[in-house]
Amino acid sequence: MVKNMKTKILEAFEKVYGDASGAKVYFAPGRVNMIGEHTDYNGGHVFPCALTIGTYAAVKKRADRKLRFYSMNFTKVGVLESSLDDLSPSEEAGWTNYPKGVMWAFAGRGMKMDVGLDMVIYGNIPNGSGLSSSASLEVLTGFALRDQFGFDVSNVDLALIGQYSENNFNGMNCGIMDQFASAMGKKDHAIFLNTADLSYEYAPLVLDGAKIIVTNSKVKHSLVDSAYNNRRSECEKALAQLQTVVDIKGLGDLSEEAFEAHKDVIDDPVRQRRAKHAVYENQRTIQAVEALAKKDVDTFGQLMNASHVSLRDDYEVSCEEIDILVEEAWKIDGVVGSRITGGGFGGCTVSIVKDEAVDTFREKVGAAYRERVGKEAEFYVVEIGDGPYELV
């Protein structure tokens, strides 16, 4: 499979640019977050894992300062050209704003490329699914730059550079989770990450007798244009009000009891609900990882369900289509837990489903979604994979 992918991408590279000799092929994974949503920019915990699907790139140095990009996913767009002397975001640059943003962020840290690159990109993460295709592309670019130019950066640095470029080049105020999960993935493990200080541990996510199923609603979200940045600023305002009465750096520092004792200092009911989600979701994430350590998958599933209710009602980042997928999943015997995953406003759900219920889950959820929404949902039984690597 890996060999085939390498051959496929190099063939495309040769077709587009004429000569693939000396080109190297790299991969960085997408991610799914099991629990801990919208906690990463609130100084809380998250629990994502890297997937075996993600983004591939064939990369070759040039002799000049030109940058050429081609995506096998957007063939009609053709080759998009730029230059190391023009690392600024633009609408015409489209998807290439992500790799260009990473190059810009590297340069801002004193790591300047001396020559340009030809790149061919191929992603097998469904577009707009909320499985972090943008973070995957950012980590992939950083990984390739490190290899091509010998830059001295760790994989954690790759995550931070990717987040910085998305925040400051692409104008999307995401937290660290997506890039960290892609850069630091480990096969068959999820990452229990404290986003307040980037301390983390790997937790085995081997579910005996059950599968992780990601269901794509086929409702595409565009986070940059969505309410995502608004949610972040609502939380920042709520935090500032709480900081007048408690000594905290982020909402993740609060227990549920402390939040309930001080919540009335937040004078806006919407902001109070946003903050409640951030506090309670962080505690749910901690409890979920503790449950998993005890092999108590049922409790983990209940916490996933509670997470969805909170994201739907308090944080208001779900949508009708996603709620239907989750409601239909909850009806099925053998579904341990199901919730929205990712930034929200469309995208995917993640469910833990017992082996004997997998076929029923696909059939019943698929049929109900078709009937109620008029769209075909897509189902992926996902495998948990490693972080970025070169295909050799």
Is residue 113 pLDDT above 90, yes or no?
Answer: yes
Examine the pLDDT at 39 and tell me if it is beyond 90: yes
**Exposed, middle or buried by CB within 10 Å (0-12, 13-18, 19+), for 291?**
middle
Tens digits of residue pLDDT in 342-374:
888 888 999 999 999 999 999 999 999 999 999
pLDDT at 121 over 70: yes
Q: Are 36 and 280 in contact (CB under 8 A)?
A: no
Report the candidate in 314, 229, 319 with the shortest Cα–Cα distance to residue 266.
314
What pLDDT digit, counting tens, does each position of 275-310 carry?
Answer: 999 999 999 999 999 999 999 999 999 999 999 999
Q: Please give the share of the chain, as a percent, with pLDDT higher than 90.
A: 90
Report which of 82, 227, 93 is spatially closest to residue 170, judged by C-alpha positions: 93
**Pairwise CA distance, residues 195 & 39, whole Å:** 8
**Is a pLDDT exceeding 80 seen at residue 222?**
no
Distance from the first to the final alpha carbon of the chain: 12
In this predicted model, which residue has the larger pLDDT, 373 or 132? 373
List the catalytic residue out of 118, 178, 253, 314: 178
Minimal CA–CA distance to 114: which of 102, 100, 103? Answer: 103
Q: Where in the chain is the domain with CATH 3.30.70.890?
A: 210-381
> How far are the Cα atoms of 103, 108, 112, 140 from residue 85, in angstroms, in the given order?
11, 13, 11, 22
**Mean pLDDT in residue range 256-281:** 98
- pLDDT of 388 above 60: yes
Predicted local distance difference test score (pLDDT) of residue 55: 97
Q: In this model, does residue 221 exceed pLDDT 80?
A: no
Please say if the pLDDT value at position 3 is more than 70: no
Per the document, the length of the chain is 392
What are the Cα distances from residue 29, in Å, to 18, 69, 119? 28, 20, 18
Q: Across residues 73-83, what is the average pLDDT?
A: 96
- Given pLDDT bands bounded at 50, 70 and 90, which one contains residue 224? very low
List the one residue out of 161, 52, 83 whose CA is nearest residue 388: 52
Alpha carbon 132 to its chain's center: 3
**Amino acid at site 150:** G
Retrieve residue 316's tokens.
Answer: 């208001």
What six digits make up the tokens of 253? Answer: 């520092």
In the residue annotation, 178 being an active-site residue is answered as yes
Instruction: Calculate mean pLDDT across residues 101-125.
Output: 97
Provide mean pLDDT across the span 81-91.
96
Give the 3-state DSSP-derived string for 191-232, with helices as H, strands as E and coil as C: EEEECCCCEEEEEECCCCCEEEEEEECCCCCCHHHCCHHHHH
Going by pLDDT thresholds of 50, 70 and 90, the confidence category of residue 325 is very high
Whether 106 has a pLDDT exceeding 60, the answer reads yes
- The residues, ordered by sequence, that sit 6+ positions from 53 with a Cβ below 8 Å of its Cβ are 29, 30, 124, 125, 131, 380, 382
| Separation CA 348–CA 34 (nearest Å) | 12
- pLDDT band at residue 129 under the 50/70/90 scheme: confident
Please check whether residue 323 is in contact with residue 312, taking contact to mean a CB–CB distance below 8 angstroms.
yes
CATH architecture of 210-381: 2-Layer Sandwich (3.30)
Interval 250-270 mean pLDDT: 98
Which residues, in sequence order, are CB contacts of 261 under 8 Å at separation 6+? Answer: none
- pTM summary value: 0.93
240-247 mean pLDDT: 98
Note the pLDDT tens digit of each residue in 10-38. 999 999 999 999 999 999 999 999 999 99
The CATH 3.30.230.10 portion of the chain extends over 2-205+385-391
The DSSP string of 289-331 is HHHHHTT-HHHHHHHHHHHHHHHHHTS----HHHHHHHHHHHT
Mean per-residue pLDDT over the chain, rounded: 95
Per-residue confidence (pLDDT) for residue 202, from 0 to 100: 97
CATH architecture classification, 2-205+385-391: 2-Layer Sandwich (3.30)
Find the range with the poorest average confidence among 43-47, 102-106, 346-350, 360-364. Answer: 346-350
